[in-house]
Chains A and B, each alone.
Chain A
Amino acid sequence: MNKIQFLLSFIVVIPFFSAFAIFSIKNNRSFISILASILALIMLGNIVNLFHNYDGNLNAISFVNIAKNLDIGLSLTGVSLIIAAIVIFIWLIMTIYSNEYFIFSNDKRFFAFKLFSILSVGFILLVIFSKNLISLFVFYQCLIFCLYFFNAYFMYEKDFKASHNFTFSLLASSLFMFLATVLTYKIAGTTEFMNQGILTSNISSKQYFVLLIFFILAIAGIALFPLQLLFSRLYNLNAPIIIMIFVISYGLVGLLILLKVILNIFGFEYFIKYTNHFNLSYVLNWVIALNLLFSGFWVMLQKNLKKMLIFLFFNQLIFAYFLFLILNQTIDRFVVVIISFILSQTLIFLCFGNINIYLLRSREKQLIGVFYKLRLTISLLCFALLNLLGLVPAIGLVEKYLLIKNYFTFGFNMNFLIILANLFLVFLVIIRIVYPMVDDDINHNQNDVILAKKIDHNLSFILPAFIVALLMFFSFIFSRNIIDHIKIFLS
């Protein structure tokens, strides 16, 4: 085992070791908080070490050999390293944030949340670093089962039917993942992830189409979650839970599976070639464009702040996919778009979490003039929201620059018009959210003022948000370096 393989194994083992440790000391809250935070930092340190030592090779480790060309193990690619870094970073942020959140919101499920979230992160990392499709399927199933119990524990009480349906849709989509894996093995004789794909030369159009449909249906369960969340009472979940379930588990894992399949199973060039052959890019273009406008209008129609922000998340996720389609379809630029999306959404959720706690415990329970109480939180929220429009010196500005550059290269077209329309809608949404907050403060309840100060000056609440905001700022400053590094990594 070489150094990289050792680091890789160490990274995936840490979450399970942490889960065991937390399980053993379940009654000691402060110890759990410290332990979880330290282990998250160790993970981050290790991932940085991996980045430093990455030599471009797969460095595969095989755990179990099942049959010919069928084994379960891990390997390292540029894309998986980047996404693992994002996951671990968000996990660290969320670990620090949730330490105080459960105390402030009087939620007694602190231990269960810590345990489930660490286990989920462990399985997510296994999915990220899986060396072939069968390994990915096995680890993905482990993740679904872990989240299955997580959902039952946290979501059932809010909306039993919706969470029941959601869990069922996850399991149903895993059926398609299974069929896609078997079909891939049948066609290619292997399920290994290769840099140029494994289906390039030996696949007919019909087989390609069937396989693509299976893979799309395989992540349909994840993709439908935002709709389940919005059209049920599940949107009432706590912010850390939403971050855990939404951003990390479903958003990132679904995205990663899609990327791995496109890059390492189909092969990027052949994927583009076949999608053009079926005119899928044209269809996809219009489907995504319509979804974008639809979600933008829905955000405008919401009266509940939480629902608005969740719809906004959905809108921005589709926006990210749309940008990928039109920005000359280069992976390095797409990674920049994803980083911008992840960081801004994380910051929005963190700020919103603070607002949520304030509203939960305040006497007046209103947003009007809340800026004058939660100055830091609302300022960071405004920073995150304006980043979506590219109006602040943050990573969002880089994304908008790439768009403008595209416009000057390819000229004005329908896609650009749709993007402008969406940006305008987002602008209106931001006004709707922020305006009441900066309106005259009519609530002079002293207890509310003290509460707001406690929240705003609590290190556990503000520090993660500051770190994310700083990252967004420095990503903008060093964007050129980031794009160059990503290009090198992915090549």
Chain B
Amino acid sequence: MTSNHLHLLGYLIIFLPLFFCFFSLLVDFPKTYFFILSANNIAVIILAIIIALLLPDFKTHIVSDVTKEVISLGINYNISILGLFFIILVTFTHLLTLIFYQKILRENLNEDSEKLFYTLNLLNLFAIIGLFTTNNIVNLYLFIEIYSFTFYAISAATKENSLNKLAFKYFYQGSSGGILILISLFYLFVNFGSHDFDIILAAISNQNQDDQIIIIGLIFIIFVLGIILKFFPFWLYFDNLKSSHFLSHFFLSRLLFIKTYIGFYLILKTIFFLFGTNLLFTHLKLDLVILAFAFLLIFYGNIKILKNNNLKIIISSYCLIYLGFLLIAVALNDHYSLIAAFAFILHYAAVGLFLLLFCGYMVYNFRNCNIKNLSFLKSKNVLMNYFFKVLILLICAFPMTPLFIANFYLAYPVLQSSYLILVLIPLATTFLVFAHLAIKMISYFYFDSSGLNTISGSNNLQDNIYYLTSFFVIILLIILFASSPNFTLEILKNLSLYLR
């Protein structure tokens, strides 16, 4: 591919969702089927383009700096392997959740709401891809805000009271986070006279004066607080999660996965490409602070998993735990630990999503997702029995799965290092907690028959086709990863090298 083709491809990735969004707004079709198709197809096309880019050993950037204007929304981009990795995760999750919740969305949205819903989804996707492909702090902020507003608008489009209340909570907390992000980015722009990430990073790396370094460190903390408020409001995770309304479940997938991926990306982008590890770890010694924070997150997540039987709370705790491990891997700042970081993200994307969809399946059958009701699977489609058993293997870090690779590459650099205890204890306790969870699930499946008492939901294959397809796709992907560890490791190594 020539560089011109690559530039066109870059624009296509960013603007395709926006084009379809405007198209759907302007054109009035009697059936909403078209919108569903557009939303899904866009995601598939983007995935296909990205995979085509990644497969031929993509190591370089695709950069477009057509204009140097301050606000040049989407025209100025920098598609790196890191951005592509997260775009794949987001589009995959977007596509899979739309397939899985297809039936529920059709049952709960009227025709007008459906059109608005899918149109806003496309706009939301555009914002996310723009976020992952920009190298401009102004554009970054704009895309963050477009994403936030479209997210709240999507929940309002459903006209569901409980969801609107939850969305409002996220809105006002997210706005506070947005303000903090704006303040920190504004300071960087004013102080360094540029909106380009590379220029700001170079300027920060060359800082010698202690007072300047401390101020920049404070700005970093403000920025990170903003990211936490906007993308990881975990104090809200455990609020309203026990709602059994189907649509709230769909939004949980957006909250715990897509929002989380954006948060992960911003953490990596901030630490490695905006403020730089030289300032944060060498001068300010923030690696120990990050490790301690991660330690607490993991500890908290593990306790939540031990004390709860509600799958939604378990998945929310999963999110916290993997955020903790990501922070540990980043703080260690080692080639192997960064491989582990991406392996943790991959595991979370696959197994966490599987758990969430499984939880959705339980909600469909039971109106709740307590793992004590797992015995209901015995009365269901035989495939679900096998999917469940595969899930147990994945929870326990079965060899060659991404979690096994992650644990291996996290343990490798810390054995015989000074961070041994700070890393080994969370690793060991998480392993044991997940083992305990898996054993609990097996016990309830075999020996607690309360799940067989009241079951709703159809056993018909046609009614369950969306669910089974989604599970099958995830398992297939996990098997592909596990059976080609060389390929998986190659991608993870490239990502790690890119960060360093």
Contacts and interface: CB of A to CB of B under 8 A. Distances in A.
A64 interface: yes
Nearest to B428: A175
B389 interface: yes
A168 interface: yes
B433 to A, nearest CB: 11
B399 A186 contact: no
Contacts, number: 70
A64 B479 CA distance: 14
Contact of B443 (A141, A156, A172, A207): A156
Find the residue from A167, A171, A185 having the highest chain B CB count within 10 A: A171
A148 B424 CA distance: 25
A182 B408 contact: yes
Contacts of A110: none
A160 B439 CA distance: 11
Contact of B489 (A67, A160, A164, A185): A67
A153 interface: yes
Contacts of B431: 175
A168 B436 contact: yes
A168 B483 CA distance: 27
A164 B439 CA distance: 7
Given A67-B489, A175-B428, A186-B416, A152 B443 contact: yes
A27 interface: no
Contacts of B485: 64, 66-67
B468 interface: no
Interface residues on A, range: 20 to 34
B221 interface: no
A156 B447 contact: yes
Contacts of A207: 416
Given A66-B489, A152-B443, A152-B446, A183 B435 contact: no
Nearest to B488: A66
B146 interface: no
B399 A141 contact: yes
Interface string A162-190: 00100110011001001100110110000
B488 to A, nearest CB: 9
Contact of A66 (B398, B439, B443, B486): B486
Interface in B341-395: 389, 392-393
Contact of A164 (B389, B407, B443, B486): B443
A194 B389 CA distance: 36
B335 to A, nearest CB: 12
B301 to A, nearest CB: 18
A141 B408 contact: no
A31 interface: no
Nearest to B389: A149
A94 B347 CA distance: 41
B419 interface: no
A67 B435 CA distance: 27
B396 A138 contact: no
Interface residues of B, number: 29
A183 B446 contact: no
B412 A148 contact: no
Contact of B398 (A141, A152, A172): A141
B412 A186 contact: yes
Contacts of B442: 148-149, 152
Given A66-B486, A175-B428, A182 B411 contact: yes
Contacts of B389: 149
A137 B399 contact: yes
A113 interface: no
A172 B435 contact: yes
A282 to B, nearest CB: 28
Contact of A65 (B416, B428, B486): B486
Contacts of A157: 447
A179 B442 CA distance: 26
B400 interface: yes
B415 interface: yes
A211 to B, nearest CB: 10
B37 interface: no
A140 to B, nearest CB: 9
A182 B485 CA distance: 17
A185 B428 contact: no
A141 B398 CA distance: 7
A156 B446 contact: yes
A346 to B, nearest CB: 30
A172 B393 CA distance: 15
Contacts of A65: 486
Contacts of A152: 442-443, 446
A186 B415 contact: yes
B432 interface: yes
A145 interface: yes
Contacts of B398: 141, 145
Contact of B439 (A141, A168, A178): A168
Given A137-B399, A141-B399, A145-B398, A175 B432 contact: yes
A153 B411 contact: no
Contacts of B400: 64, 66, 138
Nearest to B442: A152
Nearest to B493: A67
Contacts of B415: 179, 182-183, 186
A178 B428 CA distance: 11
Find the residue from B393, B400, B439, B447 having the highest chain A CB count within 10 A: B439
A185 B446 contact: no
Interface in B119-158: none
Contacts of A171: 396, 432, 435, 438-439
B409 to A, nearest CB: 9
Contact of B411 (A138, A172, A179): A179
Contacts of B399: 137-138, 141-142
B51 to A, nearest CB: 23
A153 B412 contact: no
Contacts of B447: 156-157, 160
Interface in B414-466: 415-416, 424, 428, 431-432, 435-436, 438-439, 442-443, 446-447
Contacts of A175: 428, 431-432
A326 B389 CA distance: 46
Contacts of A138: 399-400
Interface in B468-484: 483
Interface of A: 64-67, 137-138, 141-142, 145, 148-149, 152-153, 156-157, 160, 164, 167-168, 171-172, 175, 178-179, 182-183, 185-186, 207
Given A66-B485, A171-B435, A178-B407, 18 more contacts: A64-B483, A65-B486, A66-B489, A67-B485, A138-B400, A141-B398, A148-B439, A148-B442, A149-B389, A149-B442, A152-B443, A153-B446, A167-B439, A168-B432, A171-B432, A175-B432, A185-B412, A186-B412
9 contacts: A64-B486, A66-B485, A138-B400, A145-B396, A153-B446, A156-B443, A183-B416, A185-B412, A186-B416
Ranked 7 nearest A-B pairs via Cβ = A171-B435, A138-B399, A66-B485, A182-B411, A175-B431, A152-B446, A183-B415
